[in-house]
Every structure is written in structure tokens, then in C-alpha cells.
Structure 1
Amino acid sequence: MDGVIAAWIGTHNALNSYGDDHRQLRAPIAAALTRRRVEAMVPEIESIVQDVLDGLGAHEDVDLVQSYALPIPHEVITRLLGVPSEHLPAFSAAAAGLFDTTASAEAVGRSMGAVLAILDQLVASARDRPEDNLIGDLVRAADASESPLSNTELRDQLMLIIIAGTETTVHAIGTLLVHLLSHPDQHALVSSGQVSMDVALAESLRLKPPIAAVPLRFAVRQFEDSRNGEQFGEGEIILIHLAAAGLDPERYADPERFDVQRADTRSLAFGYGPHVCPGAALATREVVIAVTRFLERFPDARLAVAPEQLQEPSSFISNGYRSIPGRLA
């Protein structure tokens, strides 16, 4: 494998592991992202959101991705995870390249090299002086496990948490704003309190999850698909299209309609089973706070273009919008 696929399967982290190996790699992440820890982060997330909102106040026309959805996860990473702010511009640019499935193998290689170099610095610094942040928690939890993680394993874990967590949260914020701003009736149900923002987010994630597909999965044993009889051999490559699952007409009535009162909004947006995302609680809190506070501050905000005119990423991994032109008044 080379190019973007290699960037996703060439790391040894909780995403690309199975069985006992997966449990060992996942445990430090779960320990660092407990619900108690996430709830303790809420005041800081609220402060970050208010700061970003204050920066929007003087502008009528804005790009809701670059000016709002993107800065919030970036600030969360800087303040709560412990990524120094001076690393963030270079890191973000390189990380974005790992989601561009149209990029050349050379371009992906450069992005991967830049990301790993910065992460190596973070791991070395955290090993020397673990601080009171998420990276420090991860180092302490990894060192306390029965099989302490190497620096390389810690680096690959951080890559999973920081890169995947940022990209998904940006798209989740932007997409929920698009869904609510383009459906006034649904927006009214949420703003009136008849439907919670958490429920609206679940419906948004079902309809357009921030990750469309994760390359790659591999069959760990031979098996047969019980629905269609297709056979899969051990080691065979599988690409699961998570975004398609939420549009299954056998599961959801009128699946392409955004309906915050839908009876069943469960989806695969945060994964499933042993691989369910350990950062789901943090991402949910970020998105709910960001979208709630935005609509409170700008109740008359609207999209500047029709939803079908919004640009999507050059990626079969990311699923969201590159730019969301909006009008605040």
C-alpha cells in the first residue's frame, strides 16, 4: 500500500488493532477520556466557544467552517490536550493532507512525515514532564498499564486522537449548522426546547456522519455475509461505507429527510462494538455547545447559498463541507 491508504493502515493504534492488542491500546485512551474528565472540560469548552463567537460579532458574511467550526476543536486541542499553539498551523495543514484521497503518494508522504515529526516532539516532552492535560493523562495511563506503550505506540495513539478527533468534530459542527439553518421547522423545534440539541445532533450524524469510510478493515477470519451470502476470506480487504448505513431504507423511513423527531436516530457515526469511539462524549459536548451557543447568539443566521451548492471535501474519508458561507444578520 502507498499514498493515503498507507497513512491510515501504517500506524499501530486502537483503530488498527484487534482482540487483546486492541484492548491494550484502547485502555489508556478510555482512561484519559472518561465522562468525568469530559464534564470537567465543559467550562473551558464554553469559554472557547464564547471567544470564537465574540470574534464573529463584527462580521455579517462569514465562512462558518473557517471562522467557527474549525477554530473551536483547534482551541480544544491547544488548551485541553496540550498541543502547543505554535505547532498547530503546521500540524493542521499536514493533517488535512491525510484526508485528501485525491492527493499523490508523494504529497501524502510529506504530510505524514510532518505530522509524525510534531507528534514525536509532543511524546518526548510529555514523557519528560507529563502535565495536567489529556496528553499527560494518556502518558500516565499508558505507563501504568501491564504492558507500557513505547514512544512510537504513544505517538500513533496521539495521531488517532488528535487528527481523527479534530476532523470529525469540525464536520459535525458544520453539518449540524447546515441541517438546522436549512430546515427552519426543525430549527424551531430545537430552539423552542421541544427537541434537545443532543437529539438533533444524533439525527445529523445519521444523515451525514463526519466520516464516510475508514480505510481499511481486514477480515480476521473467514465468514459469510448472512444477508447476501457473500464470502470473505481471512485477511481480505474490506471498505465499510459508514455513511451509507444511515441511509438504509430498510432501517429508516424516508432516510434522506432530516427529522429531529425521528423515532430511531442511532447510527454508526461513532463506530460500533469494541471499536466505538472513546472520544464520542467529548465530541458530542463540543458540538452541542458550539451549535447551541451559535444559534443563541445569532438567531437570524442563515446560509448564503443553497445546501446543494456547498463544497464537499476531496475525500472518500471525510464527509462534510469545505466551506459554509453564512450570513449572521
Structure 2
Amino acid sequence: MDQHVLTLDPTGANRYAEDAHLRANGPATRVDLLGQQAWAIADPAVLKTLLVDPRVSKDAARHWPKFPDEIVGKWPLALWVGVSNMFTAYGADHRRLRRLVSPAFAARRMAALAPAVEEMTAALLDDLAATPPGQSADLRERFAVPLPIQVIGSLMGLPEEARQAFRSCVDAVFDTTLSAEEATENATKVYGILAGLVADKRQNPGDDMTSVLIAARDDQDEEGDGSALTEQELLDTLLLVVSAGYETTVNLIDQGITTLLAHPAERAKVDAGTAQWRDVVEETLRFEAPVAHLPLRYAVEDIELPGGVTIRQGEAILASYAAVGRHPDLHGQSADVFDVTRAGQDHLSFGYGVHFCLGSQLARMEAETALRMLFERFPDLALAPDTTLRPLGSLISNGHDALPVVLQPSAE
């Protein structure tokens, strides 16, 4: 194996070339992740195996020797590995925390949200329709961002006045161009907002997930059976649900729009009825995974991979979902082709195994609704003239910093 360490570009600008390198380099590649080394896994079979392997942990405190001394306050992604929620939990702790959150994302509850999502989408499209013909509008800022914010804000009981501030903080969590100091300062802001939300909901509980989690923590704490959420787990669970439910869905909608605009023949298949909007969503998830790389996992003991690669105990592992989605082992020579009628749209964009994304059904429903209603309302939608799409400043989050479009052609 090539022992060269690939330094991942924190701006995300070199992702396609990096992904191609990861796919070509075998089952695992040494990468530099903002100053910390990890094994990036872009081989779909190897990644699936590791994601269900009990020798692989997400608990940095237990299984990453560098944590906390070399990480907390010193590494920009410290929040990603230092939170106390099901994202970083291992074994029994993970099962306990996931069990508390799972009911909020039950299939019946998600289906019941569909009319509200359609109503929110319609209101955003009404606002966009006021844009004069021929003039541009930023669909990321005015459509892809506010819809998930409204949905997750409603689900969590996040007050309207707090949503914009929280949105800015979540954006910064995914921004891998920040220094360690800037990331630490942002984390302080995040916890300030969350603590305020919890204090308010303790005084004024409602029919929302935050209130349900607070009740679960407080009731179980009184029982003293060891199953209760700690206060930090409560805050970090809220952070996980709000940030994951927002950022990834924004990118899915963003990439769905831009990819369809770049492939008009694929959109024509939907218009002709030979493909459905759910096919567009699944192919977008495969072709442009909303999360390109997801930090981090750790080897509990030495793990031998095919090809003679050994991940040593305590070494970090990076799931490279975007590279996996276009791997020829999954999709042959057409892996780099966007095809909404592809037979088998296999991807790992929502993860795999016990950490599979709880919000996957909600994200799919939001994206399908958003794309269907957008293109029905504005069939002549096109990128604004002379537009060069630029990636977000992130090696984690796969989206664009802006999405300028012309919704309706000018009268001329």
C-alpha cells in the first residue's frame, strides 16, 4: 500500500480528486485530518465490515489515546469526538442513548409530519415566486436552508428567535477552516443556546422532542436505576439531533437541485414518469453524499484489512462516504454517472449498522417534497448566468456556499 499521507483540503475544494485517490489506493489510506492522522476508508465492503465490527468504537475517551490531552482545545474537530451522545457512544451506552431518541423518529411520526413539510415548502416557494422574472435568487439561503431549519425547529421546539443563531453555530461546527480557538468559542455559544432551550422547556414543556428528552432525563434520574441521561448527555443529544437534522438535509436538497440542473436528461425522466422523485433523492445521496467524511472511529484492538493493511489499536478511522458512493465495486464503470434510473442505488450516506442515521426517513421525505414542489412550481429553473458553484469551506459537509438561480426567464 502507498504509505504517503494524504492531507485532506479543509476547504473541500479538492474533494473529487481526493476521493478518486482514496478509491484507487486500496482498502485504507493514511490521511491528515486538520493535523491528526486517521485511516480513511473508501472501499464499500471494507467500510461496511468495519461499521459493524465490535472492535471499532466511536468513544474517544475510552479508545483514542490522543483524547483528551492532544485534542480538547487544540484540535478544531474536538467537539465532533468529545460530545456525550449516541454519536460517540459505544456498546451498552450507545444502546441506552439510542433507545431514548428512537421513538421521536418512528416511521408513523415521520409520516405524520409530511403535510406540515409540504405546507412549509409551499410558503417558501410563494416567497421565492415574488422574485422578478430574469432576476436571480439564492436557493441555498432561501430554500435549502430554511426548510430543514423549520422542520427540525418544530420537531425540537426550538423558538423562532433562536433558530438563526443556532443555524449559524451549526454551520460553524461543520466549517473545517476554523482554528481550534474559533471552534472552541463556537462550541461555547452552542451550549449557551442549548442550555437556554432546556431551561425554557423545563419551565414550559410542550409537545416536542426536547420536552420528551427532558422528561425522560428527569423521571429516570429520580428512579436512580442508572439508565438516565446525564445533563451533558441531554445537551449533546439535542445538539446531535438538531445539527444532523439540519445540515445534512440542507446539503441533500442543495445537491439534488444542482445535480438535476447539471443533468437535464435525468430530470426529463422524472417529467416523463420513467423515474420518481424518490429515485432522484437516492441517486443524489449516492452521487453527492451530504457528508463527505465523518469523524471518527477508533480501533479497540489491531484490525487486519485485506491487502495486508493493519489498523493498530488506538488508531483513528475516517468513514469517507462520498468516495464510497462512487466506488466501482458498487456501481461498475458507471459509478461517476448520475443516473436516476440506475438499477440499485446502493450507498452508505446514512451510515450502516448500529449507528445508521435515525433521521434518514425524515431527510428523504423533506428532500423528495422540496425537489418535487420546487421543479413543479418553477419548471424553467436554471442556474444564474455566469455562475461558478463553490463548495462550502468544509471537508465534512458536502454542499455549496451559494446556489444562485433564475426561477423564471425574463419576458425578453
TM-score tier, shorter chain, comes to: over 0.9
Q: Is the 8 A contact 2:291 2:322 kept in 1?
A: yes
Q: How far did residue 233 of structure 1 move?
A: 2.1
The CA RMSD measured in Å over matched residues stands at 1.7
Question: Which stretch of the first structure deviates more once superposed, 35-44 or 270-279?
Answer: 35-44
Aligned residue among 89, 96, 105 for 1:24: 96
Give 5+ residue unaligned stretches, structure 2: 1-70
Give 5+ residue unaligned stretches, structure 1: none
**Secondary structure of 1:221 counterpart:** coil
Aligned: 1:119 with 2:191: no
CA distance in 2, matches of 1:287, 1:221: 39
**Secondary structure of 2:78 counterpart:** helix
Cα gap change, 1:305 to 1:251, in 2 (>3 Å): farther
Aligned residue among 49, 57, 62 for 2:129: 57
Aligned residue among 84, 102, 110 for 1:38: 110
**Secondary structure of 2:137 counterpart:** strand
Q: How far did residue 192 of structure 1 move?
A: 2.8
Question: Which stretch of the first structure deviates more once superposed, 3-12 or 274-283?
Answer: 3-12
CA distance in 2, matches of 1:120, 1:24: 22
CA distance in 2, matches of 1:132, 1:48: 19
Aligned residue among 54, 59, 66 for 2:141: 66
Aligned: 1:281 with 2:364: no
**Cα deviations across residues 28-67 of structure 1 (Å, max 9, x unaligned)?**
2211111111111111111110110011011141111011
CA distance in 2, matches of 1:105, 1:78: 28
Aligned residue among 155, 165, 169 for 1:90: 165
CA distance in 2, matches of 1:28, 1:140: 11
CA distance in 2, matches of 1:207, 1:197: 15
State the partner residue of 2:407.
328
Cα gap change, 1:306 to 1:170, in 2 (>3 Å): farther
CA distance in 1, matches of 2:363, 2:213: 17
**Secondary structure of 1:257 counterpart:** coil
**Cα deviations across residues 108-157 of structure 1 (Å, max 9, x unaligned)?**
11111100111112223333443112222333455666611122111100
Count of residues paired in the alignment: 327
Name the structure where strand makes up a greater proportion of residues.
2
CA distance in 2, matches of 1:279, 1:207: 20
State the partner residue of 2:213.
138
TM-score, normalisation: structure 1: 0.95
Calculate percent identity across the aligned residue pairs.
39
Cα gap change, 1:33 to 1:141, in 2 (>3 Å): farther
**Cα deviations across residues 134-192 of structure 1 (Å, max 9, x unaligned)?**
22233345566661112211110011111122110111001001111221111011123
State the partner residue of 2:76.
4
**Secondary structure of 1:218 counterpart:** strand
State the partner residue of 2:152.
77
**Cα deviations across residues 175-218 of structure 1 (Å, max 9, x unaligned)?**
00111122111101112332111111111110111101112211
1:1-329 correspondence to structure 2 within 5 Å: 1=71, 2-59=74-131, 60-141=135-216, 147-225=227-305, 227-253=306-332, 254-304=334-384, 309-329=388-408
**Secondary structure of 2:158 counterpart:** coil
Q: Is the 8 A contact 1:95 1:112 kept in 2?
A: no
Q: Is the 8 A contact 2:302 2:311 kept in 1?
A: yes
Amino acid at match of 1:97: A
Q: Is the 8 A contact 1:173 1:287 kept in 2?
A: yes
CA distance in 2, matches of 1:128, 1:10: 29
Q: How far did residue 26 of structure 1 move?
A: 1.1
CA distance in 2, matches of 1:103, 1:52: 31
CA distance in 2, matches of 1:105, 1:71: 28
TM-score, normalisation: structure 2: 0.76
CA distance in 1, matches of 2:350, 2:299: 20
**Secondary structure of 2:152 counterpart:** helix
CA distance in 2, matches of 1:269, 1:305: 31
Q: Is the 8 A contact 2:290 2:397 kept in 1?
A: yes
CA distance in 2, matches of 1:305, 1:27: 49
CA distance in 1, matches of 2:369, 2:269: 17
Cα gap change, 1:144 to 1:184, in 2 (>3 Å): farther
Question: Which stretch of the first structure deviates more once superposed, 234-243 or 15-24?
Answer: 234-243
